[in-house]
A and B are shown apart, each in its own frame.
Chain A
Amino acid sequence: MSAERVAAARRPERTLLILGCATIACALLFLLFNASGQWDFVLPFRGRKLATALLVGYAIAVSTVLFQTVSGNRVLTPAILGFDNLYVFIQTCLLYFLGSGTAASLDPRLLFGVEILIMVAFSAVLYWGLFSGGGRSLHLVLLTGVVLGVLFRSLASFLQRLIDPNEFIFLQDRFFASFNNPDQELLLVSFLLTLGVSIVGFRMLRTFDVLVLGREMSINLGVDHQRTAAIILVLVAILVSVSSALVGPVTFFGLLVSNLAHALVRTYRHALVLPAAALVAGVCLVAGQFILEQVFAFNTNPRVIIEFVGGLVFISMLMRKAPV
């Protein structure tokens, strides 16, 4: 590496500034491009979409970075704890037992609250059941998460086979990431939840930094590792619920933004990595949605593109790690 590149990599603040400007530019482009003068309709309409995209990007980015910090692994994402499969499972159950008519008429905030409670309870059970012994138990938690994730997915697809085809379409509509039909109430609740998570997280930023050194070093430095890991898992559960409820599961997106952010700012400090990841996510989602709407005229699904690129990154990361 040349001295110049080292110097550039050592200036994460500047990278953050550039990312911030890029996000604002994307947001403005998204809001104003081709609006053809109908401001009173276009602005609130696009504004809602924009807010959803930014909020979801933030939630996915922060949850993935924190999860990777606590698991000490850059290839894992919350998806491996089975979180988004659980979300699919809950949704399927609701539809199966209530029918699409009832499910659609329920207060989305109530539904959302129940979902989040189940998600957090799930992470708490995983945590308390498996974390209490010392040593290698994080891997046990992760492994259990993988197995449970498969279980949830299988149960969900089993139920989906039993469902009426029309209801299945209704269901599928909910799973595929889409920023076109955000619910305003849901958006507000999600925003407040995310704000709460951020406040808790903000006060622990320096503790998160220590976790980068691994479990034993953190304990040596006086961090209550068990407690911190538990808090992080709850925060992650809430954030994943928020993003899943707003746009459905997006498995590989977190992996993508987290690794991009780490590559861009190249520091262990969460005070810099977390905003970088959130901004990268914001740029990707807003720009992606813009291209989708203006270039492809809604003819493609953003999730397909995200999962395609994310999957490629995932495979390349595994390949790169393998030979060692």
Chain B
Amino acid sequence: MIETRNVTKRYGDTLVVDDVTLRLPVGGITSIIGPNGAGKSTLLSMVSRVLPMSSGTVLVDGLDVRTTPGDVLARRLAILRQDNHLTSRLTVRELVTFGRYPHSKGRPTVQDREHVERAIHHMGLDALAERFLDELSGGQRQRAFVAMVLCQDTDYVLLDEPLNGLDLKHSVAMMKQLRTAVDTLRKSIVMVLHDLNFASCYSDHLIAMRDGKVTFQGRPEDIMRPEVLRAVYDLDISIQRIDGDWIATHYR
């Protein structure tokens, strides 16, 4: 289980994440929603030790992320942030193979290769495996990075806006692939999402943040309510029940 205790991030006098204490549920998809500047990505970065916190503690399966050796954590928790630019030319397969580094330390075994092929296949990248990343579209590249973190084969996967730059078709495909990963491989995925309806339809658990604080959390039907979303977004959002999903309409 991932647990945060009084996690705070301060830049000068500005509080970006304000004393967040959370227990993230094990298994399933947890989505963090909220307006821009709510501290969602910052929280995710601190949980994954990429960004040092100003104060507080994050425990992953009881391991303090600040003191636990990086390679131990790398076998339990994987993170994908938004913009990943590379200085070298890598093929999709080479990139995905890096996902095995925490296990093989750069000398992939036969099992590692199988993991790589499975992840490539899972993300529908078979035809692109030998292509260089800079020859791919933004969406294809995004899928390659997701394949890499899935290949890392950790219990917890943190994704910062995985749908960024994906069109409708690929967004749906991505969410379905993540759902499959959760259901068949029993992973816990925590992600920051901007699209309320994707969050609502695919998540088991929603966390709403505003001004650095967690304001609401619960099942989608608990969060997808006009009064709750009004408090989070300052916007009148009506909720429709369509085919068993809670859908927000906020376009007018």
Contact = CB atoms under 8 A, between A and B. Distances in A.
A266 B50 contact: no
Given A206-B107, A209-B106, A222 B75 contact: yes
Interface in B76-97: 78-81, 84-90, 94-95
A206 B101 CA distance: 9
A221 B100 CA distance: 8
Interface stretch (A142-150, A211-219, A234-242): A211-219
Contacts, number: 81
B98 interface: yes
Contacts of A180: none
A69 B52 CA distance: 23
Interface in A196-255: 205-207, 209-210, 212-217, 219-224
Nearest to B46: A134
A72 B48 CA distance: 21
Interface string B36-63: 0000000001001111100000000000
A68 B87 CA distance: 9
A134 B49 CA distance: 10
B84 to A, nearest CB: 6
A172 interface: no
B89 A268 contact: yes
Interface in A42-72: 68-69, 72
Of A206, A266, A268, the most chain B CB neighbours within 10 A belong to A268
A222 B74 contact: yes
Interface string A179-206: 0000000000000000000000000011
A294 to B, nearest CB: 38
A: interface residue count bin: 20 to 34
B250 interface: no
Contacts of B84: 213-214, 216-217
A135 B73 contact: no
A210 B95 CA distance: 10
A302 to B, nearest CB: 29
Nearest to B75: A222
A160 B25 CA distance: 68
B152 interface: yes
B128 to A, nearest CB: 14
Contacts of B73: 222
Contact of A214 (B52, B74, B85): B85
B71 A219 contact: no
A73 B101 CA distance: 23
Given A68-B87, A214-B84, A268-B88, A220 B74 contact: yes
Contact of A220 (B50, B86, B107): B50
A215, A217, A220, most chain B CB atoms within 10 A: A220
A309 to B, nearest CB: 23
A206 B70 contact: no
B102 A221 contact: yes
Contacts of A221: 74, 98-99, 101-102, 152
Given A206-B105, A206-B106, A224-B70, A219 B87 contact: no
Given A134-B51, A135-B51, A219-B49, A267 B79 contact: no
B172 interface: no
Contacts of B99: 221
A69 B48 CA distance: 23
B94 A268 contact: yes
Contacts of B78: 220
Interface string A133-144: 111000000000
Contacts of A153: none
A25 B70 CA distance: 46
A217 to B, nearest CB: 6
Contacts of A74: 87
Given A68-B87, A74-B87, A268-B89, A216 B81 contact: yes
Interface string B4-26: 00000000000000000000000
Contact of A222 (B70, B89, B90, B149): B70
A40 to B, nearest CB: 48
Nearest to A215: B50
A223 B70 contact: yes
B65 to A, nearest CB: 10
Contacts of B74: 220-222
B201 interface: no
B52 A134 contact: yes
B72 interface: yes
A109 interface: no
11 contacts: A68-B87, A213-B84, A213-B95, A214-B87, A216-B45, A219-B50, A220-B74, A221-B152, A224-B69, A262-B88, A267-B88
Closest 9 pairs between A and B when the two form their complex, measured CB to CB: A222-B74, A206-B106, A222-B71, A268-B88, A222-B70, A222-B102, A134-B52, A221-B101, A212-B88
Given A212-B88, A219-B50, 7 more contacts: A69-B87, A74-B87, A207-B106, A210-B101, A220-B79, A222-B75, A268-B94
